[in-house]
Structure 1
Amino acid sequence: MSVNLDEIKQAMAEADCLASPAEVTAALDRMAAAITARLADSNPVCYCVMNGGLVIAGRLLSRLNFPLEVAYVHATRYGHALNGQALLDWRVRPTQDLQGRTVLILDDILDEGHTLDAIITHCREEGAAEVLSAVLVDKQHNRKAHPDMKPDFHGLKIADRFLFGCGMDYKGYWRNAPGIYALKGV
């Protein structure tokens, strides 16, 4: 499948900017302050969720001035178990011993949250004492994996549109965009 690079460029040219680079930077600063206040003395392991969490983890971790361990996970959701939990196809599983640890999951967005929920559940099953989530964007809609699902830390609440930038992609592109954009009309 070939990509039409002109279409990719046009998507950005026509996109609505929902959060400027300066607004993203301010949101990351607020997140870092809140995470530091909560976790500075907890010796956390921070997992970046690939691929979307890569940009946010890179920009956020350097703002956390306390000892922490960094790793990554890569999983995709491929179905549901009989009890409704999302099953994951793990590309890279957590490799640290999580018994009694505080875990912080870093991702770009909480949209419906099925994959994030399954990663959190897995970490708890591995014995983590506490599992928290930090996302740059908490997308505003009522289709979350559970009605009360919300991130422990978030930078921005953004409308229910097709978003890209800051880790979120459009057809695999524009994760590197410094702001948050929505496709025109979507």
Structure 2
Amino acid sequence: MAVQISKRPPLAQALANAELLVDKTTIDQAIAGMAAPIARDYAGEVPVYLTIMHGALPFAGQLALELGALGLDLEFDYLHATRYRGENTGGELVWKHRPATALYGRRVLLVDDILDEGYTLAAVKQWCLEQGATDIRIAALTTKQHDRCLPDICADYVGLQVPDRYVFGYGMDYYEQGRNLPGIYALKD
């Protein structure tokens, strides 16, 4: 169920009660730093580059350009699987769009904005395996610092670690708002 625009808290109110955790310059440097190991790991191949919508869109675009600058070609597709649906706590996984690209016999790079507890990424990774992908790796712009992550899920490439707080900006939302903020913010306690 989508959040009604009139019922969601105003973004300006959230920003007034938030602190900037990571500025755009630091994010840019983190993404650039992720590109070299990814390009090295996929050298001579064209992986399926699956952006997890909506949150990963800003990160995935910037990372793709960094990888292209290093000579790595990518086959783009996307998926939309969510547990949040405009809320700030997760529920049951809902698939809104599955990739059209055949994954059988392919290497897949899942690209997401945040790895929190890992339920969404674990389900997406399992689905990719069921489709016949031979190798699935995860690139996450951020990972949260806590011990609640599922034991069998981790990001292979991580840009930044963020505290175990409600974060938004740079793809991550505050009630479906603020994804296009050029930094990462956290609500004050």
TM-score (norm 2): 0.87
Matched, 1:68 2:68: no
Q: Name the CA shift for 1:127/1:148 in 2 (closer, same or farther; >3 Å).
A: closer
- Distance in 2, matches of 1:165 and 1:40, equals 32
Identify the structure with the greater strand proportion: 1
Matched, 1:119 2:124: yes
Task: Could you tell me which runs of 5 or more consecutive residues in structure 2 were left unpaired when the two chains were aligned.
Answer: 85-90
Tell me the CA shift for residue 55 of structure 1: 1.2
- Distance in 1, matches of 2:123 and 2:107, equals 17
User: What are the equivalent positions in structure 2 for 1:120-135 lying under 5 Å apart?
Assistant: 120-135=125-140
- Distance in 1, matches of 2:146 and 2:36, equals 26
Equivalent residue for 2:20? 17
Residue aligned with 2:67, SS? coil
Equivalent residue for 1:82? none
Q: Name the CA shift for 1:127/1:56 in 2 (closer, same or farther; >3 Å).
A: same
The AA in structure 2 aligned to 1:177 is L
User: What are the equivalent positions in structure 2 for 1:1-186 lying under 5 Å apart?
Assistant: 1-3=4-6, 7-65=10-68, 66-77=72-83, 88-144=93-149, 146-185=150-189
The AA in structure 2 aligned to 1:149 is I
- Distance in 2, matches of 1:130 and 1:112, equals 21
- Distance in 1, matches of 2:132 and 2:8, equals 45
RMSD, matched Cα: 2.0
Task: Could you tell me which runs of 5 or more consecutive residues in structure 1 were left unpaired when the two chains were aligned.
Answer: 79-85
Residue aligned with 1:63, SS? helix
- Distance in 2, matches of 1:2 and 1:127, equals 40
Residue aligned with 1:137, SS? strand
TM-score (norm 1): 0.88
Contact 1:166/1:178 (8 A) holds in 2: yes
- Distance in 2, matches of 1:57 and 1:14, equals 28
Q: Name the CA shift for 1:30/1:177 in 2 (closer, same or farther; >3 Å).
A: same
Contact 1:87/1:118 (8 A) holds in 2: no
Structure 1 stretch 68-77 or stretch 163-172: which is displaced more? 68-77
Tell me the CA shift for residue 40 of structure 1: 2.8
Residue aligned with 1:127, SS? coil
Contact 1:57/1:107 (8 A) holds in 2: yes
- Which runs of 4 or more aligned residues in structure 1 lie more than 3 Å from their structure 2 counterparts after TM superposition? 1-7
- Distance in 2, matches of 1:175 and 1:154, equals 19
